[in-house]
């Protein structure tokens, strides 16, 4: 019996030994398999952390019309944690705070202590050096996600046009937002109509004007009239898309004053009124208007800011910027035809340019007699600079209007006729006269024959208009003998050396002239010094011009 029990016990021990050996071999096999996997794929540093991320989609680049890079995507790493895999949350939080600036130890400790959560973002957008430093800490429960972030190599250049994307890769403003679907697909680069050289010149001169005239803000537009392509669009203060997410919501740099704001632009509207009068036959070039006495409409008296010798022709009304003469033309035109002209120019609607937040105009509640009069010289109607630049382009495109665009497309954009080609040619000659002998003399550029109009408007304030703050503008087409381009400069409350408000003739006009002087050679325009417009030096002011203030 004893031998039988011994044999039975020995058999059981042998079976247990075999079973334990089998389990140990299986364990070694699993360990060896994991070791082999690590050897093949490399350590990830996030063992035990759940990972359900998809591969990041590379957002498409944004380039200018010549292919110069304006926005691209770069790979970054973001740090996350799985609280379920962390034994000492406080120790992990303190360790990370030592290598990552801005970590709130108390808050992170609380997040890492919540074992009901499987995922917590720790910090996104780490630099390679920060990622390496976290790795070297050897902390448990951490992992990295490779993400794609936007980078803007030209800084503030065209910042308001490009906009910026958030940490999740979605566009938040500018064409990053309006073209988000196309960019998110990661296809070929999105090509803008912007010319980086033109854009740089426009921004540089706008910034110089901001410093010289101590402005509250500014905007500039350079537009190709024949196809509606925006070659330059700038707002001051500028914005750097790389740092936009750090700006407070009320930072003035966030506002794109060229497209997302509206202004009462003043006398730059006068050529539109005169053009409508000529094109409809309401007036003729030979008509003369008595501008010596103010016009009284209802309880409103409309005056000129300087004496204009009369009777004045339509050309003299434009060149001398007569409010009285413009109102008399508007009366002959009639409110209905005036509204039709403005509507055909797109000034009753927001600009269709491809920018988020393109601003809608502020229009009179009703076009009665007094509002029709004030709108004729640019008061009582507020529009965005890009919308007005587009409207003004009819003088450089034989009377046809092409909607503005920022997206370069080889397809021919449709145009619509607003005024006849002869009327457009006549108006260009009037605008040239305004530069040669009128209020726009400081915009003249030797060899390039600028044609344009100044605009000075009192800024609206609660209860009326300010007598101490102006909105100055200058709208130009060039070269005057065969116009192709539009330049618009808008300056918010420019001042002289003594801090007093000055008119557009002394700030917006010379700023536009400097822009044209810089960009004309870039656009391939050959200077012409033959057949001068006048025997006199174009920069010599006439007596009447020295009296002009608008």
pLDDT over 70 percentage in the chain: 86
**What integer pLDDT is reported at residue 411 of this predicted model?**
74
Q: Are residues 257 and 140 in the same domain?
A: no
Distances (CA, A) of 479 to 259, 448, 453: 25, 5, 14
Q: Are residues 213 and 265 in the same domain?
A: yes
Strands, E assignment, 272-431: 295-297, 300-302, 400-402, 415-417
Choose the weakest-confidence range: 13-17, 73-77, 308-312, 421-425. 13-17
Length of the chain: 550
Is 78 marked active-site?
no
CATH of the domain at 443: 3.40.710.10
pLDDT band at 43; cut points 50, 70, 90: very low
Which residue, 229, 254, 62, 251, is CA-closest to 173? 254
**Set 73, 224, 235, 267: catalytic member:** 267
| Residue 147 DSSP one-character state | E
Residues 126 and 273 both lie in one domain:
no
Residue 55 belongs to a domain: no
Query: How far is Cα 451 from Cα 431, in angstroms, rounded to an integer?
Result: 5
Give all strands (DSSP E) within 112-216, no chain letters.
120-126, 142-151, 190-191
In a domain, 101, yes or no: yes
Same-domain status, 160 and 204: no
Beta-bridge mates of residue 120: 81
Cα separation values, 228 from 224, 240, 515, Å: 5, 26, 19
pLDDT in tens, 338-367: 999 999 999 999 999 999 899 999 999 888
Q: 454 lies in which domain range?
A: 198-401+409-547
Maximum pairwise Cα distance, the chain: 144
Q: Note whether 361 and 395 are same-domain residues.
A: yes
Got the DSSP string for 366-379?
Answer: S--HHHHHHHHTT-
Name the domain count of the chain: 2
Interval 185-207 mean pLDDT = 96
Judged against a pLDDT cut of 70, whether residue 334 lies above it is answered with yes
Is 204 inside any structural domain? yes
> Would residue 153 count as lying in a domain?
yes
Q: Specify the pTM.
A: 0.83
pLDDT 10s digits, 521-541: 999 999 988 655 544 433 333
Residue 388 has which token pair? 């007005």
Q: Give one DSSP letter per residue of 4-28, joined into a string.
A: HHHHHHHHHHHHHHHHHHHHHHHHH
* Domain stops at, among 151, 169, 191: 191
Tell whether 431 and 465 lie within a shared domain.
yes
Angle at 525 between CA 519 and CA 531, to 5 degrees: 120
- Kindly state whether residue 429 falls inside one of the protein's structural domains: yes
User: Residue 214 above 60 pLDDT?
Assistant: yes
Distance CA 385, CA 376 (A): 17
CB within 8 Å of 470: residues ≥ 6 apart:
456, 457, 458, 459, 493, 494, 501, 502, 503, 504
Same domain (yes/no): 235, 118: no
User: Beta strand 62-63 with 190-191: parallel, antiparallel or unpaired?
Assistant: parallel
CATH code, 74 = 3.90.1310.10
Domain boundary pick from 191, 213, 244: 191
Q: Is the pLDDT of residue 5 over 50?
A: no
Residues 36 and 41: their CA atoms lie apart, in Å, by 9
The answer to which of 50-64, 179-193, 208-222 has the lowest mean pLDDT is: 50-64
Among 142, 169, 191, give the residue marking a domain's end.
Answer: 191
Q: pLDDT digits over 259-311, tens only?
A: 999 999 999 999 999 999 999 999 999 999 999 999 999 888 999 988 888 79
Residue 512 has phi, psi (to 5 degrees) of -60, -40
Same domain, 215 and 149: no
Model pLDDT, residue 463? 83
The answer to whether residues 404 and 277 touch, using CB atoms and an 8 Å cutoff, is no
146 with 250, same domain?
A: no
Distance CA 335, CA 343 (A): 12
pLDDT of residue 309: 84
Residues 315 and 330 in one domain: yes
Domain for residue 9, yes or no? no
User: Are 234 and 111 part of one and the same domain?
Assistant: no
pLDDT of residue 57: 66
| Domain assignment of residue 502, yes or no | yes
Question: What is residue 46's predicted lDDT score, i.e. its pLDDT?
Answer: 42
Tokens of 292: 């010596």
Higher-pLDDT residue of 447 and 47 is 447
pLDDT digits (tens, 9 = 90+) for 304-317: 988 888 799 999 99
Flag whether 42 is in a domain.
no
Q: Are residues 171 and 202 in the same domain?
A: no
388-405 mean pLDDT: 97
């Amino acid at each position: 019996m004893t031998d039988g029990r011994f044999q039975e016990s020995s058999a059981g021990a042998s079976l247990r030994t075999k079973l334990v050996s089998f389990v140990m071999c299986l364990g070694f096999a699993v360990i060896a398999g994991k070791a082999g996997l690590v050897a093949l794929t490399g350590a990830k540093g996030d063992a035990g952390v759940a990972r359900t991320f998809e591969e990041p989609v590379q957002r498409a680049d944004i380039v200018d019309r010549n292919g110069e890079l304006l926005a691209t995507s770069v790979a970054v790493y973001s740090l996350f944690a799985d609280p379920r895999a962390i034994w000492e949350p406080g120790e992990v939080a303190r360790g990370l705070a030592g290598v990552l600036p801005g970590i709130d130890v108390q808050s992170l400790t609380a997040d890492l202590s919540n074992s009901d959560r499987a995922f917590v973002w720790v910090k996104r957008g780490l630099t390679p050096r920060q990622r390496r430093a976290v790795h070297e800490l050897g902390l448990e429960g951490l992992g990295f996600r490779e993400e794609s972030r936007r980078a803007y190599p030209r800084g503030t250049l065209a910042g308001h046009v490009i906009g910026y994307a958030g940490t999740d890769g979605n566009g938040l403003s500018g064409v990053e937002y309006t073209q988000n679907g196309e960019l998110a697909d990661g296809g070929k680069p999105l090509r803008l109509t912007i010319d980086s050289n033109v854009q740089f010149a426009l921004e540089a001169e706008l910034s110089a004007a901001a410093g010289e005239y101590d402005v509250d803000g500014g905007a500039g537009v350079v537009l190709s009239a024949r196809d509606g392509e925006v070659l330059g669009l700038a707002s001051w203060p500028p914005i750097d898309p790389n740092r936009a997410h750090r700006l407070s919501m009320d930072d003035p740099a966030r506002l794109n004053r060229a497209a997302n704001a509206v202004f009462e632009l003043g006398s730059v509207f006068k050529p539109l009124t005169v053009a409508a009068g000529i094109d409809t036959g309401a007036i003729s070039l030979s008509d003369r208007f008595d501008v010596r006495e103010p016009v009284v409409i209802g309880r409103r008296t409309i005056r000129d800011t300087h004496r204009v010798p009369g009777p004045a022709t339509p050309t003299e009304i434009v060149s001398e910027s007569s409010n009285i003469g413009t109102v008399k033309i508007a009366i002959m035109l009639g409110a209905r035809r005036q509204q039709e002209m403005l509507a055909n120019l797109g000034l009753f609607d927001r600009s269709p340019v491809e920018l988020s937040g393109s601003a809608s105009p502020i229009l009179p509640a009703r076009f009665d007699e007094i509002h029709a009069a004030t709108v004729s010289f640019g008061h009582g109607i507020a529009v965005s600079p890009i919308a007005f630049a587009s409207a003004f382009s009819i003088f450089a495109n034989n009377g046809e209007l092409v909607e503005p665009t920022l997206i370069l497309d080889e397809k021919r954009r449709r145009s619509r006729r607003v005024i006849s080609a002869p009327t457009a040619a006549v108006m260009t000659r009037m605008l040239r006269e305004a530069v040669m002998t009128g209020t726009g003399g400081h915009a003249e550029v030797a060899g390039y024959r600028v044609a344009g109009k100044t605009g000075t408007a009192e800024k609206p304030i609660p209860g009326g208009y300010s007598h101490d703050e102006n909105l100055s503008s200058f709208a130009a087409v060039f070269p005057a003998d065969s116009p192709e381009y539009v330049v618009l400069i808008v300056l918010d409350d420019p001042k002289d050396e003594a801090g007093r408000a000055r008119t557009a003739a002394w700030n917006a006009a010379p700023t536009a002239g400097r822009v044209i002087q810089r960009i004309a050679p870039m656009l391939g325009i050959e200077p012409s010094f033959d057949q001068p417009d006048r025997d006199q030096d174009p920069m010599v002011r006439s007596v009447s011009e020295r009296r002009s203030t608008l």
